[in-house]
Structure 1
Amino acid sequence: TVRGLAPRLRAAARIVIGDPFSRYVQLLLALSRARDLVVVDDGTATVEFLAQLARGERLVRWHRRGGRRGPRELLLAPVSAAARRRLTPGEGNPRIEVFSAMPVDAAPEGLTLTRNTLAWTRARFGPPRLTGGADLVGTSLVETGVVDEDRYREAVHALVRAHGVTRYFAHRRESAAKLRHLTDGTGLEVVRPDLPLELIARRGPTGRTLLSFPSTVVHTLPLALAGTGVRIAVLDIDPQWLTGHASPRAQGFLSGVTSSARAAHRLTSVPLNP
């Protein structure tokens, strides 16, 4: 695939990428001579990517433990370092633009930030019909080894009891076994969206209350559902829920996601005390 793309990459004047942490994307960037590089990403990883660029650090996903690197990481380290240099604004480097709905506090000087307001989504879909119940947005924090699965299941059961949650929008990485455990005794309807959740929620039907664990959607759903009357609440993660495999940065990162969402979109918080 890389060999087949190489001639087109070398000839392209502008390259648009979605995940700057991807080793595959980083390898493709090494083959590019484009004068314009555009990162299009509404994920929470965008905030970490820009902060790492501003600090001159190597590009590492927030949930990785770091420390000693394995053979694969050592082999790909030169590729990652070259991609970081290419994505850092400076003389001789491409013009860098980041198009994102995420709030950004730190970014390298010379980088262009363009805010995604989800205006197209609002114009194209909805407004949704609202149901009387509450919907819960799931997360893959268990699958990535950040949050203990038993504590997560307890929290979901408690939210069903306290808020009358009837539907659970599963993250694409959530395991079928975990989802079966979540439905046991709760009557939850598990929905695996075949489109981005912003489009699903905008098309409806949508619960009058949307509860979400710390994730991208606490920043994108308020934009997509603006003016519809849907109340969006973000769920704080207790530090005691973190596993022994969680990155030392995990709690700070998750807290930053919720606090920035509350500040940017005036979201309410729901404590998790199952």
Structure 2
Amino acid sequence: MGREDVLAWVESPLQLIGAAEWAAAHGTAVPVAGRLTAQISETADELLARGARFGELEPYLGIPWSLLARHGHWLVGDGFSGQFRLAAAVLRPRRLTFLDDGGLAVAYADTLLGRRPYARPSVQERGLTTAAAPFAAELVHRRAAARRADLFTAFDLGAERQDALSDRGFGIRHHDFSWTRATAPAAPELGRRVVLGSALPVDGRMLLVDYVRWVRDAAADAAVYLPHRRETAEQLDAVATVPGLRVHRTGLPVELVLAGARGPLDVHTLPSSTTTTLPLVLAGTGVTVHTGRARRSMREAAA
């Protein structure tokens, strides 16, 4: 293998979908290093069944050093990752392309512009993760100056931010999940009203009692609930008590579950990346995405 060979390094199902979209847009097969989780595996199987242009799929724990060392072009799912920072500083890949990591796409763009620290928002960092940040940032900006750093995104970065990135050498290519739409089988019959699960209670950012109250209001006596991949058994048990709510577990990201919808849906969600991704995935179906308000947890209120 040569130093220009591409490898997708992904840590979440949405990042894996981004890798499939990149492969389709560039007409090339992409080997994948995917974090060893059940939903990454299930999402990869589903994407392959839909014709994703993936090469070898290698599960990993930690940093896949040997795979990364054999490839010079990394499709990076999480630019804020401490593991990415360390691997980039040590291995110094020849080319970098950053995929979307949910709603952090805009925050990462601002990080690349030096408008915020190289640190994941709302996370207290320390140790090696912090120490590696300036070395990773130096590498990324060197590659941008040589026109070897790109963003492949479904998010609106804004004209001013995009121009500023371009001025620094970053290439920007937008996608709208066209491959995901084109290859989707008919979606399961879920009914018109769909409630999307959230990990806010798991992260301590919303009290479970307030979360269940939001689900009850969003369900309005009859809805299908699609759980978030990080929901706990306790949270799902609490949600299951909501009258008229049917919990539908798929093991797949909602973008894949709903992509084949043929009729209009009323989707209810708390603030998340789905407010950007689903209108693109469901373009032309008449979808309406309702974004609820997350009440602050006691931890946040006390801060």
1:224 corresponds to = 281
- AA aligned to 1:97 is D
User: Aligned partners of 1:214 and 1:159: how far apart in 2?
Assistant: 14
After the TM superposition, which residues 1-274 of structure 1 pair with which residues of structure 2 at under 5 Å, given as runs?
A: 5-6=64-65, 9-41=68-100, 43-64=102-123, 66=124, 73-88=126-141, 95-105=148-158, 106=161, 108=165, 109-126=168-185, 128=187, 132-161=191-220, 164-204=221-261, 208-237=265-294, 241-246=295-300
User: Aligned partners of 1:4 and 1:214: how far apart in 2?
Assistant: 30
Query: What do residues 42-62 of structure 1 show as CA deviations (whole Å, max 9, x unaligned)?
Result: 510111111122235333222
2:30 corresponds to = none
Cα offset for 1:195? Answer: 2.2
- AA aligned to 1:178 is Q
Cα offset for 1:139? Answer: 1.1
Cα offset for 1:111? Answer: 1.4
Aligned length: 238
Residues 8/124 of structure 1: CA separation in 2 closer, same or farther (3 Å cut): closer
Structure 1: runs of 5+ lacking an equivalent: 250-274
**Secondary structure in structure 2 of the residue aligned to 1:16:** strand
Residues 98/179 of structure 1: CA separation in 2 closer, same or farther (3 Å cut): same
Cα offset for 1:208? Answer: 2.6
* Moved >6 Å (runs of 4+): 1-4, 90-94
Cα offset for 1:74? Answer: 2.5
User: Aligned partners of 2:129 and 2:188: how far apart in 1?
Assistant: 49
Residues 63/172 of structure 1: CA separation in 2 closer, same or farther (3 Å cut): farther
Please say which of residues 130-139 and 164-173 is displaced more in the overlay.
130-139
* C-alpha contact (below 8 Å) 1:134/1:166 kept by paired residues: yes
Q: Using structure 1 for the length normalisation, give the TM-score.
A: 0.75
1:264 corresponds to = none
**Higher RCO (C-alpha under 8 Å, 6+ residues apart):** 1
User: Aligned partners of 2:245 and 2:194: how far apart in 1?
Assistant: 10
User: Aligned partners of 1:183 and 1:12: how far apart in 2?
Assistant: 46
User: Aligned partners of 1:144 and 1:191: how far apart in 2?
Assistant: 22
**Secondary structure in structure 2 of the residue aligned to 1:184:** coil
Cα offset for 1:184? Answer: 0.9
Structure 2: runs of 5+ lacking an equivalent: 1-59
